[in-house]
Structure 1
Amino acid sequence: MSPVNPPRRQFTRQRRQLVASERRACGRAASLHLIKLQQRLPPNARIGLYYDGFGELPTQPLLDWCLRLGYQAYLPVVGSLGRDDKGDDDKRLRFIPIYHDKLINVPTQVHPLGMKQSHNRKLFWASELDVIICPLVAVDKQGNRMGMGGGFYDTTLGKDYQSGVKKPLKIGWCYDFQVVEQLKRQPWDVPLDGLITPSGIRWF
């Protein structure tokens, strides 16, 4: 029998119920497992991050880790490629380098979909990065990811994934309660290569 995905609001509500101190503690716990990701990366690795603007596991520990190890961190930009033939934003993400040590200090604008994003003259393709930390609402134990429903990451990563390209590594970063037994997978979904939660790291 095909699995039925739980509603997104189940997880987003639970995230919003966490107080700031709980979020910070979970972020610190998850960051302890980054050393196992580091073992798979080249020196001067390029790491795609995101703003944790919707109650997600904090991503500032990821930026702190990048700064300690000399990795260059990047943030995603939506709509940098204009509009598609339907008049909607082209969903392929590009990435800009972060030149601040705190995400809160990065100058941003709010996209109509609600996410914060910065703008810079130099934009990078996902294929130029070594790792992309992917936001998610839920993930299952096989690495299938439920996003917010916009399809930005699946569109950005789908072509290379279908052609067998391994770069960049696709890593989930979330609370333990966002991990479920099984999600229904769609043909266009791009699974994760690994997952980091406060309780550990797993590879798929």
Structure 2
Amino acid sequence: MDDQELVRRGFRSILSAQDDMEVVGEAADGAEALRVLRDVDADVVVMDIWMPVMDGVAATEELVASGNRARVLALTTFDTDENAFAALQAGAGGFLLKNAPPAELLSAIRSIAAGDAIVAPRVTRRLLDRFAGQLVPAVPAVHSSAKRLATLTEREREVFLLVAQGRSNADIAERLHVAETTVKTHVGRILGKLELRDRVQAVVLAYESGLVRPKA
């Protein structure tokens, strides 16, 4: 979903060339995107942050609130874009810089579709470091989250902290000397116990609860 037709054509060309991907719709603004998504069954929505009529943040928020199962990959021009963080707060599964190479875009879409890693973890951490003090709680407040955090086992807490640092499943598996499938199992249990939608909310919760602190 992008207001520039040339950009949409480029994305469509790249995605359509993949054996495991199919473009089922496109739109020039957020409002049109929501209309399109009511009529198609999409797994992932590549959503530009800056669009006319309705921006990507508002469109993401409405999409998530509607119960649509599609996961959102938000696109931003700058890695310090406050609106990219707002998109995560609105429910996007991750975000990517708009000038990312095609291989990175394809990898990000596959990761988002699988509900696996947060996209562009280093950029995510920079945004969290910059805007952590401006968080609008999208997950339980600190006093109510402490009780649920206490339900985690020692290993689950260890995995949770690594997820909060933006680590991928493969990276966590290597650090803990376990199989990647074991990490995926831990992450699933952690999200269930903490009643979180995805890994993005896990990162935000870690910052809100003080387990991970912004850099000085």
Which TM-score band (shorter chain)? 0.3 to 0.5
More contact order relative to length (CA 8 Å, sep ≥ 6): 1
Bigger helix fraction: 2
